[in-house]
């Protein structure tokens, strides 16, 4: 009889990617029966999962009883939280803790979570206000204390944000485009296609709980300088894209006031600490080890640019 792998955020970018990766993997799809957790199983995306053979159940991250019901009978769980729904690090931590507590209470053997480094710790207090990093780090720290195997997925900056609302290249009067940020031209920034590659990383963790117990897999297609990003955009789209480094105060003003400090420090973390911080052997070496361990190679930024629409 197949084991149950329960995926939180099943209709979102990360959870949906995990479900797709397991379904297309011959080994994992035979080993595990998928259960997707969402707040409303009657909505369109949830119904599409059912059509793929996924069991879809309701679960409220603010309700421990519903979470215990959602994971009951599961062998493994994937947990993901969304800081930007509540805009509260305390709430995000409480939700992640509740998922971990539910998994422990129901005898789940393997807990995989999407987390991030504690920016306040890795920068020695220099950047203390990146709540959506620090709350996820606290979830990881807490999960490590519980009586199950655990492994953690650290996703890089979403490449989607460079084709979204944060960094989308702006058209200039002469018809060219400018990519603006506070990064130095030679800053090295990790990027991930979060839709294509979350599942690749988590599937690797799921295949070998013994190997990955207590460890992390770094999710990124690679490190890129903003100059390289602009060059790749130019080459792949046929448009002329240049990188322009902005003064900190000017760039910070691009964001809504409640998020200015949070986002300013996040971009500083990328500029001065390579986003992941000086963990282990260092961010680039740790990413290289993660790539070497993966059966499916992650998406490069050039590949991401080629498969997405730009400048519309």
Asked which of 152-161, 249-258, 260-269 is least confident by mean pLDDT, the reply is 249-258
Taking the C-alpha atoms of residue 206 and residue 130, their distance in angstroms, rounded to an integer, is 29
202-227 tens-digit pLDDT = 999 999 999 999 999 999 999 999 99
Q: pLDDT value at position 1?
A: 57
pTM of the model: 0.96
By DSSP bridging, strand 76-79 and strand 110-114 are parallel
Which domains are present in the chain? 3-306 (3.40.50.720)
Mean pLDDT of the chain: 95
The Cβ of residue 151 has, within 10 Å, a number of other Cβ atoms equal to 25
pLDDT at res. 172: 94
pLDDT in tens, 25-68: 999 999 999 999 999 999 999 999 999 999 999 999 999 999 99
The span from the CA of 158 to the CA of 255, in Å, is 17
Q: Any idea which of 28-37, 121-130, 273-282 has the lowest mean pLDDT?
A: 273-282
The H helix count followed by the E strand count for the chain is: 15, 13
Summarize the confidence of residues 289-293 as an average pLDDT: 97
| Nearest Cα to Cα of residue 151 among 219, 210, 87 | 210
Helices (H), the chain: 13-24, 26-31, 44-51, 64-71, 83-86, 89-105, 119-122, 131-143, 194-207, 209-212, 226-237, 248-252, 260-273, 283-293, 301-306
The whole-angstrom distance between residue 30's C-alpha and the CA centroid of its chain comes to 26
Q: In this model, does residue 312 exceed pLDDT 90?
A: no
Buried (b) or exposed (e) across 23-32, using 16+ Cβ within 10 A? bebeebeebb
- Half-sphere exposure of 73 toward its Cβ, with a 13 Å CA cutoff? 12
Confidence of residue 167 (pLDDT cuts 50, 70, 90): confident
Which residues does 196 contact at the CB level (< 8 Å), separation at least 6?
17, 298, 299, 304
Q: Are 55 and 84 in contact (CB under 8 A)?
A: no
């Amino acid at each position: 009889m197949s084991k149950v792998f329960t995926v939180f955020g099943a209709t979102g970018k990360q959870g949906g990617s995990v479900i797709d990766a397991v379904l297309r993997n011959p080994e994992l799809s035979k080993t595990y029966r998928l259960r997707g957790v969402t707040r409303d199983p009657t909505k369109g995306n949830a119904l599409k999962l059912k059509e793929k053979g996924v069991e879809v159940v309701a679960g409220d991250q603010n309700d421990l009883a519903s979470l215990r019901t959602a994971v009951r009978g599961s062998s493994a769980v994937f947990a993901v939280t969304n800081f930007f729904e509540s805009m509260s690090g305390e709430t995000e931590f409480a939700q992640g803790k509740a998922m971990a507590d539910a998994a422990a209470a129901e005898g789940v053997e393997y807990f995989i979570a999407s987390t991030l480094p504690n920016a306040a710790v890795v920068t020695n207090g220099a950047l203390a206000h990146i709540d959506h990093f620090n709350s996820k780090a606290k979830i990881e720290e807490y999960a490590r204390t519980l009586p199950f195997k655990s492994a953690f997925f650290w996703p890089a900056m979403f490449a989607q944000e460079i084709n979204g609302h944060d960094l989308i290249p702006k058209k200039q009067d002469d018809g060219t485009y400018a990519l603006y940020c506070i990064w130095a031209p030679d800053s090295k920034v990790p990027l991930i296609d979060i839709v294509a590659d979350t599942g690749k990383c988590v599937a690797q963790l799921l295949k070998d709980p013994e190997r990955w117990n207590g460890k992390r897999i770094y999710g990124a297609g690679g490190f890129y300088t903003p100059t390289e990003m602009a060059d790749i955009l130019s080459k792949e789209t046929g448009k002329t894209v240049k990188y322009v480094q902005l003064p900190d105060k000017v760039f910070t003003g691009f964001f809504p006031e409640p998020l200015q400090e949070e986002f300013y420090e996040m971009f500083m973390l990328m500029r001065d600490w390579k986003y992941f911080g000086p963990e282990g052997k260092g961010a680039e070496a740790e990413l290289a080890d993660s790539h070497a361990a993966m059966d499916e190679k992650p998406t490069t930024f050039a590949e991401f640019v080629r498969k997405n629409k730009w400048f519309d």
